[in-house]
Structure 1
């Protein structure tokens, strides 16, 4: 289906409704932690929350689709809106639905919202023995080490994109197991897939939605359907089309775990993109058991629409907040996940997001949480209660995407022909500097000139996600081509290198879009959420074609890893060690990181970005400096040494030097 949320993914409107009135909320609250289906060989306990129901039926089936019920059982009303029943037999691998009678009519047969296993297309739940889905050695699965959040470097990837290219050399194309394959190569002998990502040097893989979503028919794998997955169906279950058998509810669980286990073994942590801000439609499982409760509404009773999807969930309601917390905790524990990216996090309330942070960090303090700090339209929830970017300082150990820096580097999101700092825009430097210091308070940033934020919003640098491109909108390469139609490929590559050099030498958390390291193109398609594989797949021939670009990205990431001066963990440290230098050219930014910042072996570091289309001159401090980045290549040891005084920095390039 065409999904309007994706089309408007960066429609950054966050409007305060002046007529907000809290909705009546007199539903009972269930405080237990056992909703859903709890199996043992002796019995299975079924519990759902349906406080307005007059009756609830449970149906058991032999398969996830088709066939008549094996049993139909009436649930009993319990306390606090819960309905329950216990079946004293071994129901392992049987499928089930619930059906509630509300206001005189029977609603649809659906799995409960807490379902942890489902059949094909997610229309029936499955009674699962989760321990039996663990791959060999799962109990010994060990997360790669992580000291500070600012050490994180994220690679944003769609599961299917990695492997679908015929030249990927990957057997399990479009599957979780495709990401778990090693030693894969393209026909020209270059590494692909997991080995490629590992060699690149990033620390985390951010997977676009990989829970069970609505828009792909899992019964027709041969149809090669595609979607990003921002249309949630069953939040606690892996997506069936990414498994080798969508009909067996165990397979997708086992294969997702195998993927995580393999990524961990190869030094990569795993982040799941979660979409609790809306459901795929209002015929959701939520509405089959408690119609209307889980959503926000306008004063006239219509569904509010801050997501541009026709509905928005109400995170501030007790049972929705409880659901979100229990869902991420389940993913963290059962699947050993290392982080969560919240889609349209600005729709959620601050209290819920902080409760989520507390619950996850109780399990593992290294779990990383971040999200989009905006909405896609009006919401009845007051802005001062929302987890939007301007309120990031109120969030506890939660980061936000830095669109100020993103658009400063490449140009504004709303006009794809507009230029940014890397293509000569003369009004973008302050927005770039805002990102360089990690969006924290710094005396040398003129916030009145930052494109969206007129004040620092990060309390500490780990709260900012610095990036120049992601799945939304055009790839970086396509955007640069569109906004610079007369530029040569050579000049476009210079702009591309400069763009991500800024990102990976800035304070905060570095983030990149999969394939940027080989100049990924989607043939000019901006929001490719339902475009075919031919548009979305990673074209592995580009790795060889643009080998120089790949090697540049690889050494750039290694430079960030080797030098903690680019990963300072506190705002105080940034203010003490990072100072901007005067430049006569508005298209040039220069700064010095001094005093062995954050324990770096380099005492003094100079970073110079020339976004002008002409060479620029700047005076650097006296002394002997070794050139590490010259705009074309990166070499930490063997480039030339130069003296202080006036130097010339080539057009559209980054220079980085350290004092000998």
Structure 2
């Protein structure tokens, strides 16, 4: 290696390759000393180079910076930050801890919670007010310098799929292909997922929403499986160590920067197939945990800047439910988050983001909701980020529920849609009126400030909660293997086992469960809004009633690909009803229904019915709803003409005859009847029907006009 040459550098965050060298920049307002260290190997305790930044020359404002010429690409590095250590006032500097650079785009290794060296306090005392003199460099994570600007995207562009044409598929990179029967060579990796992209394209989904891919530590879970004694994992990855680094947990090579390029390869291959990549991002907290957690990065860089602290600054506000809350209203933190999002858009070419517990990003440093005055508004208005899909989980662990209150530019997971549809299909009373509102795109939540139905992300299942098969197979959660005495996971599942809890050989129950799943899909795919599906639901994947399987990296959570053949009837229904939605623009409107007749033929843009035309039963005891969506849309600038679509839903326990609304010079044709067995449950060629149709118990139908 050529001799390293040191210069003052520029006040720019993170490592940046410049003129044959690397410029390093780190924010720390309250530090008294900052040291940069370079390492040959991940497990090295001693650096091959160490440089203490001069407080006069190497600091501009609150940014410490240095430029070093002749550094090799893929060099390990880290920061040591010195200052006052007094947890009672929120200061936790400890120069004995090697820290990850918040702006590094690759991180190597993980850490073991049992290693006392990674804690800023003396772990042996279990007293966070003590001070640790132990050096953490041999067992903590290290940042990696990676030059990635010359990646060849081959001219492949983002597909820019319109929101109203979007069908989201929420998935986990590792769990999707980790099963040995997945048939892929590189199981559990980005490369392995590339091998399954044609399956996803053929399914019909447009946008792959990846559960977190920021660097995280899968070994951070301290619980054990009570049945096997095996140490459990943090498989989902909702405890990020860094907001720029793609995780090395899903790479096929060494964790020495290859993860950056394997992720880019994955995105490029997705775009080649005209699909999108949406990232589930966690900006509300970090993996450093509560006041007893390790000192890995932010805590040791400037604790009272990066985190929201309680009045007793020894402790962290816990709006996230994970032990800490990122201070998203602080200028420096806001800049870091927007810089992170810009990086994923510009450098990694991702198409959108789903924000975990996004309500936290709308709070000020005192925890108050400030909505349009918050980081949420900054993100939506950012000239680079605003072109991406922005999707919020509109609640947090502190009881905040702000669905429908996010700034213009945001779509939101619609938890009310999920719950209402589940209750109706289960057979609960008092749901029909609200169901109509949800099917119409939830105008009560989103019809304001220029928003439209696509801002409602409609879903039945997601990673939190039951899979679709478990939703119709269990009355209650079964999370005992999580090691938390079945106390974790929600109890509000609105599920029903249809006669037997869990597995059964009863063919009647099995067929009823399948029918209910098809009913869910009929509602989801004919609702205004943006539909989202969960990984493996199309195969009837089960987690044996576990509705919070975040900690299992085994057959419980791995997609079982033998189900593709076993449950091909349901897979076929998924494919065809997805295509049906794509074929009918009237189900994908970009504006809310008005109830007006724009064509003069007596048919409004939407009409509601019961067993009799134009007579919906919104009473408490009702179990039926039918709706007709007009095929003409005068509010659409292209004035497209489509078939009228009629849907009838019967969640009652007996068959009911529905009288269909009459049409001028047209007839009704059957597309789907969930009471039928495959392939007659959804037809390739529509069949003409009379003006009366018997809808079986717990069934639904779709008709089109011709």
C-alpha change, 1:232 and 1:108, in structure 2 (3 Å) is same
- 1:369 aligns to 2:372 (yes or no): no
How far did residue 277 of structure 1 move?
0.5
Match of 1:388 among 395, 398, 402: 402
Give the direction of change, closer, same or farther, for the CA distance of 1:605–1:33 in structure 2 (3 Å limit). farther
> Could you tell me how far apart the structure 1 residues matched to 2:60 and 2:356 are?
34
C-alpha separation between the residues in 2 aligned to 1:330 and 1:454? 30
Match of 2:428 among 425, 428, 438: 425
* Corresponding residue SS for 1:238: coil
Q: 2:600 aligned with 1:577, yes or no? A: no
Contact 1:35 1:114 in 2 (8 A): yes
In the alignment, is residue 619 of structure 1 matched against residue 659 of structure 2? yes
CA contact (8 A) 2:498 2:513 kept: no
* Per-residue deviation, 1:162: 1.4
Kept in 2: contact 1:120–1:247 (CA 8 A): yes
**Are the aligned partners of 1:65 and 1:124 in contact in 2 as well (CA < 8 Å)?**
no
Could you say what secondary structure the match of 1:36 adopts? coil
Name the CA shift for 1:307/1:165 in 2 (closer, same or farther; >3 Å): same
* 1:210-225 alignment runs, 5 A limit: 210-216=213-219
TM alignment of 1:590-629, pairs within 5 A? 590-597=626-633, 599=639, 601-623=641-663, 624-629=667-672
* Larger Rg computed on CA atoms: 2
Higher helix share: 1
| 1:615 CA displacement | 1.1
List aligned pairs for 1:210-609, cutoff 5 A.
210-216=213-219, 227-248=235-256, 250-282=257-289, 283-301=295-313, 302-349=315-362, 350=371, 351-359=374-382, 362-363=383-384, 366-377=387-398, 388-392=402-406, 395-410=407-422, 420-441=423-444, 459-482=451-474, 483-486=496-499, 488-571=509-592, 577-581=605-609, 582-584=615-617, 586-597=622-633, 599=639, 601-609=641-649
Distance (Å, rounded) in 2 between the aligned partners of 1:458 and 1:438 = 14
Query: Match of 2:48?
Result: 70
Match of 1:141 in 2: 156
Matches within 5 A, 1:108-147: 108-121=97-110, 123-132=141-150, 134=151, 137-146=152-161
1:454–1:244 Cα change, 3 Å: closer
Distance 1:574 1:583, change over 3 A: closer
1:607 Cα deviation after fit:
1.4
Deviation, 1:264, is 1.0
Question: Shift of the alpha carbon at 1:574?
Answer: 7.7
Aligned residue for 1:138, secondary structure, equals coil
C-alpha separation in 1, matches of 2:404 and 2:705: 38
TM-score by length of 2: 0.78
Over residues 293-332 of structure 1, what are the superposed CA-to-partner deviations in whole Å (9 max), with x where a residue is unaligned?
A: 1222233333111111111112111111111111011011
Contact 2:306 2:326 in 1 (8 A): yes
Q: Which residue of 1 aligns with 2:225?
A: none
* Highest RCO, 1 vs 2 (Cα 8 Å, sep ≥ 6): 1
Aligned-pair CA distance for 1:593: 0.9
CA RMSD in angstroms, aligned pairs only: 2.5
User: 1:130, CA displacement in angstroms?
Assistant: 1.1
> In the alignment, is the contact (CA less than 8 A) between 1:54 and 1:101 conserved in 2?
yes
- Quick check: 2:284–2:361 contact (8 Å CA) kept in 1? yes
Q: Is the 8 A contact 2:100 2:296 kept in 1?
A: no
Tell me how far apart the structure 2 counterparts of residues 141 and 427 of structure 1 sit (CA, whole Å).
50
Q: Specify whether residues 226 and 377 from structure 1 end up closer, same or farther in structure 2 by C-alpha distance, changes over 3 A only.
A: closer
Quick one: distance in 2 between partners of 1:636 and 1:593?
A: 20
8 Å contact from structure 2 (residues 671, 683) kept in 1: yes
Output the CA distance in 2 between the equivalents of 1:547 and 1:492: 15
The corresponding residue for 1:171 is: 185
Partners of 2:687 and 2:436 in 1: CA distance? 28
Output the CA distance in 1 between the equivalents of 2:327 and 2:338.
Answer: 13
Of 674, 689, 706 in structure 2, the residue corresponding to residue 642 of structure 1 is 689
Q: TM-score, normalised by structure 1?
A: 0.83
Q: After the TM superposition, which of the residue ranges 60-69 and 515-524 deviates more from structure 2? A: 60-69
Deviations 1:518-543 (A, max 9, x none): 11111111100011321111111111
Q: Is the 8 A contact 1:278 1:309 kept in 2?
A: yes
1:76–1:85 CA contact under 8 A, matched in 2: no
- In the superposition, relative to structure 1, how do residues 89 and 507 fare at CA in structure 2: closer, same or farther (>3 Å)? same
Structure 2 unaligned segments of length 5 or more: list them. 1-9, 86-93, 111-139, 221-230, 290-294, 363-370, 475-495, 500-507, 597-603, 610-614
Specify the alignment match of 2:66 in structure 1.
Answer: 85
Tell me the secondary structure at the aligned position of residue 167 of structure 1: helix
- The C-alpha deviation readout for 1:437-488, integer Å capped at 9, x for no partner, is 11114xxxxxxxxxxx799999311211100001111112112111224170
Instruction: Find the counterpart in structure 1 of residue 123 from structure 2.
Output: none
- What is the alpha-carbon distance in structure 1 between the residues aligned to residue 659 and residue 99 of structure 2? 69
CA deviations 1:27-65 (Å, max 9, x no partner) are: xxxxx9820111135221111111101110001111233
Per-residue CA shift, 1:59-83, capped at 9, x if unaligned?
Answer: 1111233252111111133222111
307-316 vs 574-583, which deviates more? 574-583
Q: Secondary structure at the match of 1:592?
A: strand
Question: 1: distance between equivalents of 2:303 and 2:595?
Answer: 50
Mark the CA change 1:204 to 1:574 in structure 2 (over 3 Å): closer, same or farther.
farther
List gaps (5 residues or longer) in structure 1: 1-31, 182-192, 218-222, 411-419, 442-452
Residues 461 and 569 of structure 1 are in contact (CA less than 8 Å); yes or no, is this contact kept in structure 2?
A: yes
Partners of 1:76 and 1:84 within 8 A in 2: no
Take 1:320 and 1:145, find their aligned partners in 2: how far apart are those partners?
29
Using the alignment, how far apart are the partners of 2:52 and 2:191 within structure 1? 40
The count of corresponding residues between Structure 1 and Structure 2 is: 578
CA 280–90 in structure 1, closer or farther in 2 if over 3 Å, else same? closer
